[in-house]
Structure formats: structure tokens, C-alpha cells
Amino acid sequence: MALISLEDLDGLEDEELDNDITDNPEPMEDDEQQRLYTHWQAIASTHQVSVPREMTGPIQELTQRNQAQEREQVPFSSISQHEKLGEVLFEERVYPAGTWACITKGEKLYEQSISTGFMKLMKFICKENSVGRYLGMTVPIVNSIQMLEDGNGFQKDILTAYYLPAEFQANPPQPTDPDITILQREALRVITLTFFGTTTEETIMPQINLLWEMLGPSEEMHRNSYMVAVYDNPGVSCRRNEIWFIRRDP
């Protein structure tokens, strides 16, 4: 089952929601709202996370706008792609400096941390901000992880980051939630490996090990910190994610 995060925005079948989306989505009928809320609760329960009733509005708005494909790609430049038999194994990219809304959560499970963190970011995106309006969705949502000293697991604190749309990069709206911080992050040079499916500690660790096997011994990348980029929703059978290795010198 997918996480209650960006991956959950298209979770309902097409017939369950109205696809006639405008700049101001029409409010759903009560039964539609309840069906959507129940869907999110079902997903959340698999991670021991509860969805507060106050999330009904943000869930509705993001779901409707997501169906209208209102998503902006986080900008980057591709430096190189490494292929074998015509298949891209991994890619090197540079992400420019930019403004991100970030929140750190330290729950028992990785998936609990990113779930609770993203729910707060959803409310920020959906009008709980200083301009009082919907800001727009960008992809991917990026989760930063730190490794335990023995390298065999994740530390509890997970930073979840949302890149502000181009419209707000120069003058970012401020969150009303004190847990959310607006950060100007430096340029980032990463090695990326695509993988498909759900994202938990159990599914991410093999991808980290696989990319190290491909790269071989190297002091150019950090070994104690990684990023996980999430793109897709649970309605897609092969959901796209990436593990990012961070170069020491961008």
C-alpha cells in the first residue's frame, strides 16, 4: 500500500471524482468528501497514521488539481547518463539553488515521518500561508535521510521538502504553521537511480546498496546522507521514485 503523501493524490478511481477542474474547484458533495477522506484514512491506517478531519479541504483541493495535471517540475540540468545495453542505469544532474518549504518529523517509522510531514505541507500549499491562496504543486517531493552510524538503517528525523513554484521563488509566502520553514537551499549535484513501487526503509535500502555497487568505491559522494524523490500516485502500477546520492562538491 502506498504512503499518505504525494503518492496518494490520484488514489481514487476516475469515476469517483469530478474531472471538470477550474482555477477554483467546485466543492464536493458531502458523500464525495467522505469517500475521499475514507480512502486516505485507509491508506494512513497501514502506516499507523491518522488523518485529521481538518485535512478534508486540502485533500479535496490537491486531488482535484492533481487530476487536472497541475504540476510543475523542479528544474534541473542533466549532466550525463550512464547506460548499459541501451538502458539508463543512473543519471547525474544539477539542481539550481532555490526556495523550498521544509519540515522535519521524527516518527517511529520512515513512512510515518514523511506522511505526517507531507500532510502539514499540504495545508501550507492549500491556503494556510501568508497570501491565503493555493500555491501549486511541484514534483518531486524530496525526503532527506541520515544514516545510523553503522550504516544499517535510517535516523528517525526525516526532512520533507516541497519546491515552491516559479511564481513564488523570489518572494515566498510564509507558512502559518511554525513547524514549516522556508529555506533557500544551495545548488545540488546528485547521482540518481530510478526505482518503482512504494517507499519504505525496507525498499529504499536495497536501492542505496545497488547504486553503490554500480558506482564502486568513491569519496565524491556523501555516505551518511541521501535523498528520496517521489513522483507518482498509487493508481499507477509502477510508481516512479528516485534515490539521490549527493556529491560533496556541486
pLDDT tens readout for residues 147-159 = 999 888 999 999 9
Query: Residue 43 pLDDT > 50, yes or no?
Result: yes
Q: Choose one of 66, 83, 112: the last residue of a domain.
A: 66
Cis peptide before 140 (omega within 30 of 0): yes
Query: Residue 46 pLDDT > 70, yes or no?
Result: no
More confident residue, 149 or 29: 149
User: Rounded to whole angstroms, how far apart are CA atoms 110 and 105?
Assistant: 9
Same domain, 139 and 196: yes
Same domain, 95 and 48: no
- Predicted pLDDT of residue 28: 55
Q: Is residue 78 domain-resident?
A: yes
Same domain, 182 and 82: yes
Q: Is residue 99 domain-resident?
A: yes
Q: Is residue 18 domain-resident?
A: no
Same domain, 105 and 135: yes
pTM score, two decimals? 0.81
CATH at residue 164: 3.20.80.10
6, 233, 38: which is closest to 115 by C-alpha? 6
- Predicted pLDDT of residue 69: 61
Going by pLDDT thresholds of 50, 70 and 90, the confidence category of residue 78 is: very high
Q: Choose one of 66, 93, 127: the last residue of a domain.
A: 66
Cα dihedral value 162, 74, 201, 178, nearest 10: -10
- Write down how long the chain is: 250
Q: Is residue 128 domain-resident?
A: yes
Match 556529491 to its residue by C-alpha cell: 247
Going by pLDDT thresholds of 50, 70 and 90, the confidence category of residue 17 is: very low
Q: Choose one of 6, 39, 66: the last residue of a domain.
A: 66
Range of the domain at 219: 72-247
Q: Is residue 9 domain-resident?
A: no
| Pick from 32-46, 94-108, 213-227: least confident | 32-46
Domain count, the chain: 2
Same domain, 197 and 179: yes
Query: Residue 4 pLDDT > 90, yes or no?
Result: no
Match 519540515 to its residue by C-alpha cell: 103
User: Rounded to whole angstroms, how far apart are CA atoms 24 and 69?
Assistant: 15
